[in-house]
Structure 1
Amino acid sequence: MSVDIMDVASDNAVTRRERRRQSAYREQVLDLPAGTDRRGRTLGNYLPADDRRSNFLSDEAAQYAAARVDVVQREGGQLEQTRLFTNMLSSMPLCFTVFGHLRAHPAAAVSLLSVLLQRELAGLDRVAVGDRGIDGIECEWAPARKEHLNDGSAFDAVVAGRTVDGRRLLIAVEAKYIDTFSRDPVDEEKDRKYRRFCANFGMPGEAFDALKGSATRQLLRNVLLTESVRRSGSAAEPLFDEAITVVLARDDDRAAQDAVTALDGLRGDLVTGVRYVGHGRFANAAASIPELAEWAGRFRRRYVGPAESSVVLPTDR
């Protein structure tokens, strides 16, 4: 008989806590047996290998995830299906759970994003970006590489919207759960390219050197890609008038908060803004939208918990 393991020796305190949270959710809410990881270990945060529904909080999100896998593969992208469908600790199903559900409820999405971003949105748009489009909301989306950073960077989710005064708004999302920002290997050629983008986009001269370290490098790349997509079209008529990079992370993720603060402080004349949104604040805002209230309760139970549900940290911006 296999053993349902909830703790792994290499887990830090946060991973241990969240692995136990997901194990309890699988057992108590989903009433499913534990699945196995790629090493064949039975772990409490894994779902059965053939389950393509339970890692999401709504049918709409699950259906979108299944369809999106095919689209990303056709476009030549990579989408790790184990992370998406069976690993409950991954940030990927969290992102699809949120934006796949909002995609199916555009009016509620507009209301929620207006609250979270303190910008009054009028609706979502279908926008062509080169040879790829954004149909209001998309997960795991990347523009054509050669037209932008050409480094494989992609967005966990993107939203194309418009404000009540007619301005076109791009929202690029970086979703985090237990994961940290990625640590790129040293690459002098990429450094020269990112430094050039920083300068061309109006960031101060010291910005790249201050932000090139592992704590902020991935977020910097995400922001530069967001600004590059915003500028698609022509200098006189950019595709989007405004853009913002949103980091959606745990309420207690100080590293994510610090990265947002550091990036925001060195934006200079960069048009793209950056904002941190904690899972607890997100759940509270979603609960205030009638159409999302019941779904928000499920999100809170799985990802936040009652002890943290009302936490809004001073740096939540």
Structure 2
Amino acid sequence: MAIQFNSTNLKTEPVSFEGALLKGIAPDGGLFMPLEIPKFSAEEIRAFSAMKYSEIAFEVGKKFFEGEIPEPDLARIVREAYDFDVPLEPVFDNKFVMRLDRGPTASFKDFAARMMGRLMQFFLGRRGGRLVILTATSGDTGSAIANAFYGLDNIEVIVLFPEKEVTARQRKQMTTLGKNVSIIALDGKFDDCQAFVKRAFADPELEDMKLSSANSINIGRLIPQSIYYFYAFAKLREGAPDDDIVFSVPSGNFGDLCGGLIAMKMGLPVRKFVVATNANDEFPKFLGSGEYHKLEPSRNCISSAMNVGHPSNVPRLVALYGGVMDEKGVIHKMPDMEAIRRDMFAVSIDDPATERAIAEAWETHRLLLEPHGAVGWAGLMRYLERGEVDDGQLCVSLETAHPAKFPEKIREILGFDPELPPSLEGLEQKPEMFDKMAHDYGEFKGWLRGRGGKDAAIRPTKDEREKYHVNYQKDTNFAASARLLQSKWREKKGYQELKLGNFLEIEFAKSSKANFLTDRIKQLVVQEVKRIKKEGGLIGEPRIWNNLLSSQPLCFNLFGELYYNLDLASEYFRLLFPGKLEEVKRIKFEYSPGRGNNKYTDDNSAFDVFIEYSSSNKRGFIGIEVKYAESLKEESNKKATNYFMQHEQRYTELTNNTGIFRQRSIEMLKRPPLSQIWRDHLLSIATKQDYDEGFFVFLFPRQNEECQKAVDEYRKNLISDDEEQTGFYPRYLEDFINILREIENDDWTKELQERYLGA
């Protein structure tokens, strides 16, 4: 059974990993943690010694994601995320530095960000929708997140950083990207940036923005950070049954440390964690006194990414030891302090000690460290001075960033510039793009509300609309763009228009079937129109023949060839819905299991496309509703209300008996723009009585903002975002077409993409 995740504040219901990942912060303001931590046996951990990093990542991921991510997808995710080296540099007497700086942004944050980005993309691709990643950075997090999510068309990234507390190279790694990445320099400290982010998550007026976090407060970053602890031990262990290891972790927001603690709880034999902070020493003092006090304001140190006066992940650490701390740092239940002190040695390393560590490591061992890694190394040296372990004890200190990211400090202390890694070459010449902002949450909130959304459709110019005869004033921005696209396709084909550029002349359209892309699809449409009429179904004529903008022709153009090739259909739907089905048995169009039948919805509702499939000796179905340029407001409120009144008893019965709708949701669901989604969803629920399983897909273009708003609003009326539970699967047309082109790259799919997506 899949592991569930609960809030550290213990005031919300547990959620799946998918829910925790995409939400970021729990509704009660706490951080998500697994209800149980899976275990590795000693034999399983010993087997890691023969594995590559990505293979260890796969084994760790399986423990947490089993039941949510199919193994082939997880294997692909970790293989793509971890395509760089993880050097373990020997220093002296079984003491090593693990260099976590070989990723694309030369920071340990790459390990978490790259896997997290791919996990989010996997779940968003499966469920539809888009996210706005809002994150604060004290240095490396921002560049790692920005690069990991850069160019993803269903995710927008907004990063806040303290203007005066990051290096020029750290800043340029964020501010030179553009596209779906926006950067804000805040006149304040990291804690101020983090406070803005947390406040935005809790702001009810920003709820519709679908905010999610990519800081270490997101569980999707924490779990990947446990992997390199297993890797270090696996590669350095000597083979004795009682092998153990000491880790020294430079600690700022404490995500890295919590990843290590999770690894230890999973069975990794860690003798001690050295928790090395800079002059922001609230945690070492907590271990000493048992009293936790935030440090406000945080202290500015040369290890800038660790300038944190109240580490966001301390509540997770407290939770791992049986306590409860809220997001403000108030402890409501004390953790087991004796166990914490047994497992951890905490030490504060100020700037002079950090600079000495950089100099001594180079002079004594030719070990090149930057300020954060130097804090970790100095902390380890302090621990060894206590004499608690033998000289040959295996110890690993984490180097979290490449020294070339701090050239000024290295030059000042050691007298030379560190060599640039490939990921930093050419950075100085790139132009920067970022906004500056005062320490004013109101200004920040206004910026968020007015940012416009980078994936929004842009309305074509009036001149262009008039040129192609599609200047219809009532169109939404997307409908105007789609109408123009269809008119351009018509002109390219040499077809004559009728009234508007997206209409064909009626007699020509009926005789030529020019609205359809292949000869077989044309034959299928003629066949299906006759059948649908005979069965009393609804088919829009002459719209299906001559309206290029209509979603009815789109249904046939997208799924028609699959009707004739069920092997291709099976491969296609397996890719669209991994783990859901094995073989497509039948494809139907404008299908209802029983129009006007009280066994179902008692009305004339029908699916645009209906897929019957088999899976593990089970019969299943996918009911699909397809939209293109529609706004879901075409049906008047009066008509929808009258329709509801005619079928109120059955609609109410189905809604209340399923257990997936919130109480008193019918008042919202019965009206446009939600009414049609609701009726089709109810039809899928009723149809399940004829099958072992089934679900409803609402398919629409990503830039159709009206459909997206309706989907977001509809989800608010469901008890959960878990698609398995609700049977509601919103999906994007772009993903359906792009995946089809991957497996069937021929004239049909090429024209399908060109006509409906414009590419």
Shorter-normalised TM range: 0.7 to 0.9
Residues 262 and 115 from structure 1, CA distance in 2 versus in 1: closer, same or farther, beyond 3 angstroms? farther
Q: How far off its partner does 1:140 sit?
A: 1.1
Q: Equivalents in 1 of 2:745, 2:610: separation in Å?
A: 20
User: Which of 742, 750, 759 pairs up with 1:288?
Assistant: 742
Point out which structure has higher relative CO (alpha carbons under 8 A, 6+ apart): 1
Question: Higher Cα Rg: structure 1 or 2?
Answer: 2
Tell me which protein shows more helix as a share of its residues. 2
Q: Equivalents in 1 of 2:649, 2:667: separation in Å?
A: 11
Pair 1:16 & 2:473 matched: no
Q: Equivalents in 1 of 2:715, 2:575: separation in Å?
A: 20
Q: Equivalents in 2 of 1:300, 1:16: separation in Å?
A: 18
User: Which of 47, 51, 76 pairs up with 2:504?
Assistant: 47
Q: Equivalents in 1 of 2:607, 2:484: separation in Å?
A: 28
The match for 1:300 is 753
Pair 1:241 & 2:692 matched: yes
Given that 1:286 and 1:293 are in contact with CA atoms closer than 8 Å, whether structure 2 keeps it comes out as no
Provide TM-score, normalisation by structure 2.
0.35
Partner secondary structure for residue 502 of structure 2: coil
* Residue pairs, 1:272-287, within 5 angstroms: 273-287=727-741
The match for 1:138 is 588
Pair 1:87 & 2:544 matched: no
Pair 1:107 & 2:567 matched: yes
In structure 2, what residue type is equivalent to 1:167?
Answer: K
Q: How far off its partner does 1:159 sit?
A: 0.7
User: Which of 559, 564, 581 pairs up with 1:121?
Assistant: 581
Pair 1:152 & 2:604 matched: yes
Provide TM-score, normalisation by structure 1.
0.80
Given that 2:640 and 2:675 are in contact with CA atoms closer than 8 Å, whether structure 1 keeps it comes out as no
The match for 1:32 is 495
Q: How far off its partner does 1:43 sit?
A: 1.9
Given that 1:244 and 1:273 are in contact with CA atoms closer than 8 Å, whether structure 2 keeps it comes out as yes
Residues 288 and 120 from structure 1, CA distance in 2 versus in 1: closer, same or farther, beyond 3 angstroms? farther
Q: How far off its partner does 1:44 sit?
A: 1.1
Deviations 1:166-223 (A, max 9, x none): 2222111111011122444323353343122111222343342343331212111101
In structure 2, what residue type is equivalent to 1:200?
Answer: N
In structure 2, what residue type is equivalent to 1:259?
Answer: A
The match for 2:641 is 186
Q: Equivalents in 1 of 2:557, 2:715: separation in Å?
A: 27
Q: Equivalents in 2 of 1:113, 1:262: separation in Å?
A: 27
In structure 2, what residue type is equivalent to 1:278?
Answer: Y
Residues 266 and 6 from structure 1, CA distance in 2 versus in 1: closer, same or farther, beyond 3 angstroms? closer
Q: How far off its partner does 1:68 sit?
A: 0.6
CA-based RMSD:
2.3
Deviations 1:33-74 (A, max 9, x none): 11x3xxxxx221112323242211222221111111111111
In structure 2, what residue type is equivalent to 1:211?
Answer: L
Q: Equivalents in 2 of 1:274, 1:23: separation in Å?
A: 33
The match for 1:201 is 658
Partner secondary structure for residue 677 of structure 2: helix
Partner secondary structure for residue 504 of structure 2: coil
User: Which of 646, 670, 673 pairs up with 1:212?
Assistant: 670
Q: Structure 1 stretches of 5 or more lacking a match? A: 37-41, 126-135, 232-238, 307-317
Partner secondary structure for residue 590 of structure 2: strand
Partner secondary structure for residue 698 of structure 2: strand
Residues 119 and 208 from structure 1, CA distance in 2 versus in 1: closer, same or farther, beyond 3 angstroms? farther
How many pairs align? 278
Residues 293 and 283 from structure 1, CA distance in 2 versus in 1: closer, same or farther, beyond 3 angstroms? farther
Deviations 1:257-299 (A, max 9, x none): 343344445445996611122121112111111x355422211
Q: Equivalents in 1 of 2:711, 2:470: separation in Å?
A: 32
In structure 2, what residue type is equivalent to 1:83?
Answer: R
Given that 2:504 and 2:546 are in contact with CA atoms closer than 8 Å, whether structure 1 keeps it comes out as yes
Partner secondary structure for residue 109 of structure 1: helix
Given that 1:108 and 1:292 are in contact with CA atoms closer than 8 Å, whether structure 2 keeps it comes out as no
Residues 296 and 24 from structure 1, CA distance in 2 versus in 1: closer, same or farther, beyond 3 angstroms? same
Q: Equivalents in 1 of 2:580, 2:683: separation in Å?
A: 24
Given that 1:89 and 1:177 are in contact with CA atoms closer than 8 Å, whether structure 2 keeps it comes out as yes
